[in-house]
Structure 1
Amino acid sequence: MRQLEAFTLGKKFGHPEANEDSLVIMPNLGYAVIDGVTDRNGTRYGGMLSGQFASRTVKRAVEEFLLAQGQPDRPELQFQGGEHFVDYLGKAIYQGYVQNDAVAAVEADWKLRGGCTVMAALLINDRLEVVAVGDSGIRINGADTLQVLKPLDDVTAILRREAWHYFCAQGLTPEECDAQAMAMTWQGTRNQVEGTPTADGAVIETIEARALKACREHLPDVPEDEILLLVQHGIAHGQGNFQNVTDPVLGYGGIDGFAVPARYVETRSYALGDIETIELFSDGYFKLGDGFGVAAWERAFAEVEAEDIHKIGRYMSTKGTTETQLTDDRSYLGVRLK
């Protein structure tokens, strides 16, 4: 290894301890970026919100796995492919539920589970083995990029964008638009708090219609019932119905202590001798850096913020940057081998 650069920052201003991203940095063994899923309801395990708990648990599990490589007394932890590795990470989270007496609760209600994505680059003998679940990314040699973004996020991002524009047209300030659009996106149109602006029947009808129309145009192959489920029940009440199941078109994978279908486990294998640079990043970066290193990626981040701070334009998202927090936690890890 000739050079290593790493950066991570939580989205909440003044609260770096709330960062749900984790980094694994083990030179000559492997690297990973892990992104904890934002908690839906304040569930805590080991004093941490569920997404941070999942992220930190998987971080420790990856480190243990890498340290065990080549040890004959740890055959169960030798690399046997991406699905085996992901299964091992899921079992680590499940064991965390056991330790917190939460197995019955999480088996009965997906909203109580902790979850995370992982992008791992494992140096196994003379190979670079890449294993990924979710939407964190990797760029090899500055050109070969793997990042699996989920169309499901486009549905809730469109809902948020349409709600934002609706309230803006009513004369609300950008801060008020952020708050009302987030209420719609997080809870869904059918779970709004009585008496609030987003609970008005006419408002709901208008925003639902606009979101459905825009989603049909953007995702013409997605069944309308899947779109409606997300629009009406949002991230907090609807999204989990699509995780780690294969029947829905909008299905996606996440590590949450339960089985991850093989279709959501992405793998790549490279001859280690061909690798010059490895760059891993979480989805808090909406634009790739124009070169290797933290400075290049932070320039890209600043460009996105300057162009679309509310994330309702080219970089539409389920959240935007506000006075209290950035759109998302972000992490970058770059390793130059040659």
Structure 2
Amino acid sequence: MKLEVFNRSKYRDGSAPGDDVPLAVPGVVFGVFDGATDPLGTVIDGVAAGRLAALTVAAEMTAIALDPAARNAPGDQIIARLSSVLKARTDPLDLKIPPSTTIAAALDCGHMWRFLLLGDSAVRLNGTEVHHHEKIIDHVSTVARVALFNTFADQTSDRDRVENMTRRGIFLGLEKAICEGAITSECADGIVADAIAATGLEAVADIVRAFLMDGIQRQFAYGNALGNPLCFDTLNGALPQRGDLQDFTRAKADITSIEVYTDGYPAPPPEISVAGWEAAFHAAEATDFHKIRQFATVKGSTSTEFYDDRAVVVLT
């Protein structure tokens, strides 16, 4: 099969690497690992915390894939091993926020492919069959962010300023935005109400409100937090709790293409190639630069940053 790998930092000038890590060991394993951007900007030995998590898990996933017995272990055992290695690497650092990452991997198992996914990175098979998990907490943040963006857009035509104000408000929380005089309490109440209505979380409105008032800076606390309605499974050193792991196989005879990709790509393209993925990315940038309409997400692009890091591995 033909192999293509592409990885691009969110920084348009390439001034720093991103937190996405692609993996390609032909005949063994292919994948992408999306490290979570650390709210505190933590850097360990020159490596951002999210990237460290992605690199650590990618290395261990390679070790597992190289061992025939290990790569055939039950999915929950593989995830437990990855979590244990990440915990051993990061616990001694005594960080306030545990570094975390997603995984989307394709393991070459001879006559078949095995796929493991945890988090919101994804895989597309044969150009049509998409496996992707979306987090409810991101839906909450996205609805709130779009509402906040539109609020600020009514105040200034400087779209970079609007995006940066919006990022600050969603990241540090609506309570902080109120205290800084950026929005009123009534405005915050309306944004929270919009997010609750759009996600159908009326039964846990207090939890949604607390999250938005605190901001995405506190999102890490919901990772593997069993019992919380905003909980999401992730690799952060603790064991995932929701059961969101996707673990399935396909006969090689039934697979003509494999694409694994991070959520830095708004949508899969019609063409199965890196060129196709990049064309679709830039079309989305041209169509919805601020990511407030059909490609709405938790951040928008600016003149200095794409809205996110992106990575894709394509096998055809």
How far is 1:88 from its partner? 1.4
* 1:88 is the counterpart of 2:87: no
How far is 1:80 from its partner? 0.9
How far is 1:324 from its partner? 1.3
- Say if 1:187 and 1:236, in contact at 8 Å, map to a contact too: yes
Question: In structure 1, what is the Cα distance between the partners aligned to 2:198 and 2:242?
Answer: 27
How far is 1:172 from its partner? 4.8
**What's 1:136 paired with?**
121
**What's 1:206 paired with?**
186
Aligned counterpart in structure 2 of residue 182 of structure 1, from 167, 171, 176:
167
- Say if 2:264 and 2:308, in contact at 8 Å, map to a contact too: yes
How far is 1:16 from its partner? 5.6
Q: Deviations over 1:193-245 (max 9, x none)?
A: 96x442xxxx24133122122213311145212210221011102x1232112
Question: In structure 1, what is the Cα distance between the partners aligned to 2:231 and 2:238?
Answer: 15
Question: In structure 1, what is the Cα distance between the partners aligned to 2:55 and 2:285?
Answer: 28
* 1:149 is the counterpart of 2:149: no
**What's 1:74 paired with?**
none
Query: Scaled by the length of structure 2, what TM-score is found?
Result: 0.94
**What's 1:114 paired with?**
99
**What's 1:233 paired with?**
214
Question: In structure 2, what is the Cα distance between the partners aligned to 1:188 and 1:38?
Answer: 16
SS at match of 1:142: coil
SS at match of 1:301: helix
* 1:252 is the counterpart of 2:251: no
Superposed counterparts of 1:36-115, under 5 Å: 36-69=35-68, 77-98=70-91, 101-102=92-93, 105-106=94-95, 109=96, 112-115=97-100
Amino acid at match of 1:31: F
Question: In structure 2, what is the Cα distance between the partners aligned to 1:86 and 1:227?
Answer: 29
How far is 1:171 from its partner? 3.0
SS at match of 2:102: strand
- Say if 2:104 and 2:116, in contact at 8 Å, map to a contact too: yes
Q: Deviations over 1:91-150 (max 9, x none)?
A: 12112125xx32xx35xx4xx211111101112242211111100110011111101011
* 1:324 is the counterpart of 2:309: no
Q: Deviations over 1:238-278 (max 9, x none)?
A: x1232112312221111011111251212222122211111
Deviates more, 1:318-327 or 1:206-215: 206-215
- Say if 1:155 and 1:230, in contact at 8 Å, map to a contact too: no
Aligned counterpart in structure 2 of residue 270 of structure 1, from 250, 261, 271:
250
Deviates more, 1:38-47 or 1:146-155: 38-47
In structure 2, stretches of 5+ residues that fail to align are none
Query: Scaled by the length of structure 1, what TM-score is found?
Result: 0.88
Distance change >3 Å, CA 204–CA 86, structure 1 → 2:
farther
Question: In structure 2, what is the Cα distance between the partners aligned to 1:176 and 1:23?
Answer: 32
SS at match of 2:259: strand
SS at match of 2:189: helix
Question: In structure 2, what is the Cα distance between the partners aligned to 1:269 and 1:225?
Answer: 41
Distance change >3 Å, CA 86–CA 19, structure 1 → 2:
same
Q: Deviations over 1:54-87 (max 9, x none)?
A: 01111111121222225xxxxxx34312111111
Aligned counterpart in structure 2 of residue 165 of structure 1, from 150, 173, 179:
150
Q: CA RMSD in A?
A: 1.8
SS at match of 2:11: coil
**What's 1:24 paired with?**
23
In structure 1, stretches of 5+ residues that fail to align are 71-76
Amino acid at match of 2:143: I
Amino acid at match of 1:19: G
Percent identity of the aligned residues? 23
Distance change >3 Å, CA 122–CA 192, structure 1 → 2:
same
Question: In structure 1, what is the Cα distance between the partners aligned to 2:181 and 2:273?
Answer: 45
User: How many residues end up aligned between the 2 structures?
Assistant: 315
How far is 1:287 from its partner? 1.2
SS at match of 1:241: helix
Amino acid at match of 1:217: A
SS at match of 2:116: strand
Amino acid at match of 2:213: Q
